[in-house]
Amino acid sequence: MKKFSFIILLFFIISCPVLADVYKFPSNFESISKQIPKIHSIKCKFKQEKHLQNISKPLISSGDFEFVENKGVYFHTLYPFESTVDYTNKNYKQINDIINAISAKKYSRLEREFYFFYEGNINKWTLGMKPKKNSNAYNYISSITLNGADYINKIIIKQTNGNMTTLWFTK
Amino acid sequence: MVYKIRIFILLIIIILLCFLGFTHKGYIETNLLKTLLPQKVINSTDIVSIANKSSSVIKVIFENDNQEDLDKLKHDFIKQIDTDYFEITTPDVSKILNKYLLQPTNFLSKETKILLKGKKYDEIYAKSIEKLYNPTGIQLTTLDKDPYLLLDDFILSNRKISDKIDYLDGKYYDYMSIKFKKNEALSPDISNKKIRELINFQRYLSDNHSKIYLAGAPIHSYYTSTRSVTDINIICILSTLIIIFLTLKYFRDLKLLLPMALSIIFGMLLGFVTTKLWFENFQVITMVFSTTLIGIGIDYSYHYFFADKVDSKFIKNLSFSFITTVVPFALLYFTGIELLEQVAVFTIFGLLGIYLIVLFIYPCFNAVKPVKNYEPQTNIYKICLFIIFILSMAGFARLHFNDNLTALYTPTRDLLKAENLYNKISGEEAYSQIITVKADNINKIIETEEKITKELDANNIEYISLSKIFPSVKTQYENYNLVKNLYHNNLNNYSDILSANQIRKLKTAKFVPIKFDNMYLNDLMLNEKTSLIVVFGNKKLNLNEKNVGVINLQSDIRYYMTHYRHILMGLFPVVLILLYMLLACLYNYRKAFITILPSIGGIVAAILMTALIYGELNLFSVITIFLVLGFTIDYSIFRINSEENTESAVFVSCVTTSFSFLMLALCGFKLLSSMALILFFGITTSYIIGYLLIKKYFNPLLMENQNHEYAKWFQVEEQSAGKKRLYLSWFLFKIFGKNILYVIAFFMSVFTFIFASKIRKYSEKYLKTVEEYTGLKSNLLNKFKHILSYANSLVDKMLVYSGNFNESDIIFDNDADKKTLFEDIEKKCGVFFICNHIGNIEILQTLLLNQQKTPNFKVNIFMSNRQSQIFNDFLKTLKINFPVNIFQVEEIDLNTGIELKENLNKGDMVFIAGDRLAQNNDARSVTVKFLSRDIKLPQGAFKLAKLMEVPTYFISAIKIGNKYHVILEKQQNLSEKELVKSYVKFMERTIKINPFQFFHFYDFFN
- Residues of B whose CB is below 8 A from A139: 93-94, 97
In the prediction, which pLDDT does B715 show? 41
In the prediction, which pLDDT does B685 show? 94
Confidence of residue B678 (pLDDT cuts 50, 70, 90): very high
In the prediction, which pLDDT does A16 show? 35
pLDDT in tens, B134-168: 776 677 788 888 999 899 888 878 765 445 666 77
In the prediction, which pLDDT does B80 show? 84
* Inter-chain touch B140–A80, beta carbons under 8 Å: no
* Inter-chain touch A59–B498, beta carbons under 8 Å: no
pLDDT in tens, B571-600: 889 888 888 888 887 777 778 888 899 999
Which residue in the set B97, B135, B142 is minimally distant from A52, CB to CB? Answer: B142
pLDDT > 90? residue B117: yes
Q: For the stretch B211-240, what's the b/e string if a residue is b when 16 or more beta carbons lie within 10 angstroms of its beta carbon?
A: bbbbbbebbbbbbbbeebeebbeebeeebe
Confidence of residue B505 (pLDDT cuts 50, 70, 90): very high
Are B328 and B626 in contact by the 8 Å Cβ rule? The answer is: yes
Average pLDDT over residues B233-261: 84
Cα–Cα distance list, B413 to B220, B416, B418 (Å): 12, 5, 9
* Inter-chain touch B497–A161, beta carbons under 8 Å: no
Average pLDDT over residues B71-95: 78
Confidence of residue B519 (pLDDT cuts 50, 70, 90): confident
B105 versus B729: which is more confidently predicted?
B105
B548-551 and B433-438 strand pairing = antiparallel
In the prediction, which pLDDT does B710 show? 39
A47 close to B (CB below 8 A): no
Average pLDDT over residues B276-284: 77
pLDDT > 80? residue B626: yes
- Residues of B whose CB is below 8 A from A87: 136
Confidence of residue B697 (pLDDT cuts 50, 70, 90): low
A135 versus B199: which is more confidently predicted?
B199
Reduced DSSP (H G I as helix, E B as strand, rest coil) percent helix, strand, coil of chain B, to 5: 65, 10, 25
Alpha carbon B784 to its chain's center:
33
In the prediction, which pLDDT does B57 show? 82
A16 versus B668: which is more confidently predicted?
B668
Which residue in the set A48, A81, A104 is minimally distant from B135, CB to CB? Answer: A48
Which of A133, A160, A130, A134 lies closest to A146, judged by CA?
A130
* Inter-chain touch B497–A109, beta carbons under 8 Å: no
In the prediction, which pLDDT does B607 show? 93
pLDDT > 50? residue B411: yes
Closest residue, chain A, to B142 (C-alpha): A53
- Residues of A whose CB is below 8 A from B497: 52, 55, 57, 59
- Between B197-206, B963-972, B997-1006, the lowest mean confidence (pLDDT) is in B997-1006
**CA–CA separation, A31 and A118 (whole Å):** 9
- Residues of A whose CB is below 8 A from B99: none
A5 close to B (CB below 8 A): no
* Inter-chain touch B140–A93, beta carbons under 8 Å: no
* Inter-chain touch A163–B142, beta carbons under 8 Å: yes
- What are the extents of the domains in chain B? 809-992
- Residues of A whose CB is below 8 A from B125: none
Smallest CA–CA distance, residue A107 to chain B, in Å, is 8
Closest residue, chain B, to A139 (C-alpha): B94
The identity of residue B354, as a single letter, is I
- Residues of A whose CB is below 8 A from B75: 108, 112
Average pLDDT over residues B542-547: 78
* Inter-chain touch B135–A90, beta carbons under 8 Å: no
SS (H, E, C) B646-669: HHHHHHHHHHHHHHHHHHHHCCCC
In the prediction, which pLDDT does A4 show? 37
CB atoms within 10 A of CB B768: 13
Smallest CA–CA distance, residue A171 to chain B, in Å, is 18
**CA–CA separation, A63 and A40 (whole Å):** 20
* Inter-chain touch B134–A85, beta carbons under 8 Å: yes
In the prediction, which pLDDT does B316 show? 82
Task: Report which DSSP code applies to B81.
Answer: S
**CA–CA separation, B860 and B871 (whole Å):** 14
In the prediction, which pLDDT does B621 show? 87
In the prediction, which pLDDT does B120 show? 94
**CA–CA separation, B934 and B1003 (whole Å):** 12
Average pLDDT over residues B784-809: 81
Burial of A21 (0-12, 13-18, 19+ CB in 10 A): middle
pLDDT > 60? residue B242: yes
* Inter-chain touch B71–A61, beta carbons under 8 Å: no
B58 versus B744: which is more confidently predicted?
B58
In the prediction, which pLDDT does B504 show? 92
pLDDT > 80? residue B900: yes
- One DSSP character per residue, B9-55 reads HHHHHHHHHHHHHHHS--EEE--HHHHHS-HHHHHHSSHHHHHHHHH
Smallest CA–CA distance, residue B675 to chain A, in Å, is 49
pLDDT > 80? residue B212: yes
* Test the A interface: residue of B133, B153, B161, B425 with most A CBs within 10 Å: B133
Mean pLDDT of chain B: 81
In the prediction, which pLDDT does A3 show? 38
Smallest CA–CA distance, residue A4 to chain B, in Å, is 32
CB atoms within 10 A of CB A70: 11
Average pLDDT over residues B499-518: 88
Residues of B with a Cβ under 8 Å from any A Cβ are 67-68, 71-72, 75, 93-94, 97, 129-130, 132-144, 161, 163-164, 496-499, 502
* Inter-chain touch B161–A91, beta carbons under 8 Å: yes
Helix residue spans in B587-643 (DSSP H): 589-614, 619-640
Compute chain B's Rg from CA coordinates.
43
- For helices B646-665 and B670-690, angle between their N-to-C axes, nearest 10 degrees: 160
Ordered mean pLDDT values, 10 residues apiece, chain A (171 residues): 38 38 76 76 89 86 85 83 74 64 68 81 85 76 86 86 87 78
- Between B235-244, B396-405, B444-453, B886-895, the lowest mean confidence (pLDDT) is in B886-895
* Test the B interface: residue of A82, A109, A152 with most B CBs within 10 Å: A109
In the prediction, which pLDDT does B511 show? 92
Domain A22-170 has CATH 2.50.20.10: yes
Partners of B509 in the β-ladder:
none
Most confident of A28-32, B737-741, B782-786: B782-786
Smallest CA–CA distance, residue B491 to chain A, in Å, is 15
Q: For the stretch B164-179, what's the b/e string if a residue is b when 16 or more beta carbons lie within 10 angstroms of its beta carbon?
A: eeeeeeebbbbbbbbb
- Between A81-90, B202-211, B556-565, B630-639, the lowest mean confidence (pLDDT) is in A81-90
pLDDT in tens, B824-870: 888 888 889 998 888 887 777 667 766 655 566 778 888 776 666 66
* Inter-chain touch A108–B142, beta carbons under 8 Å: no
A95 close to B (CB below 8 A): yes
pLDDT > 50? residue B404: yes
